[in-house]
Amino acid sequence: MSMERSLQEVMVREPYAAQYADPIAFHQGDIVQVQRADAEFVEWLWCRGPDGKEGWVHRSFLSESSGHATAISDYSARELTVSVGERGWIIQALNGWALVELEGSRVGWVPEGVLQTSNI
């Protein structure tokens, strides 16, 4: 596995259970319907994808923050269920959420608050 050295190594300090079993996912160029912004994390928007699946999408993945938006990159809202002590790397951190790759090649989103910088 070739990890870029810029990825931040982390460890899970609190358990987290994924909230959505079948989340929104789309490809660059897809049309996405933006429905509302999150009250706490305003850069996260509740959206409906081209296949009818719904979920949270960060504003940075979309051309618009309301109405019909075009996806500017591929995206999946897949969350991970994590346990204390799991280790991995932050791929991207956006407004309170982190896209992580954990050992064993599991990739998905978790709240940043359940992670701590690892001192390995």
pLDDT attached to residue 12: 97
- Report the 10 Å Cβ neighbour count for 71: 20
The domain made up of 8-19+79-117 has a fold known as SH3 type barrels. (2.30.30)
Structure tokens at 93: 């951190």
Residue 106 to residue 19: CA distance in whole angstroms:
16
From residue 99, give the alpha-carbon distance in Å to each of 2, 8, 16, 50, 102.
17, 11, 14, 22, 10
- Tens-level pLDDT at each residue, the chain (120 residues): 444 446 789 999 999 999 998 999 999 999 999 999 999 888 999 999 999 999 999 999 999 999 999 999 999 999 999 999 999 999 999 999 999 999 888 999 999 999 998 655
pTM of the model: 0.87
pLDDT attached to residue 4: 45
Do the Cβ atoms of 98 and 24 come closer than 8 Å?
no
Residue 60 to residue 12: CA distance in whole angstroms:
25
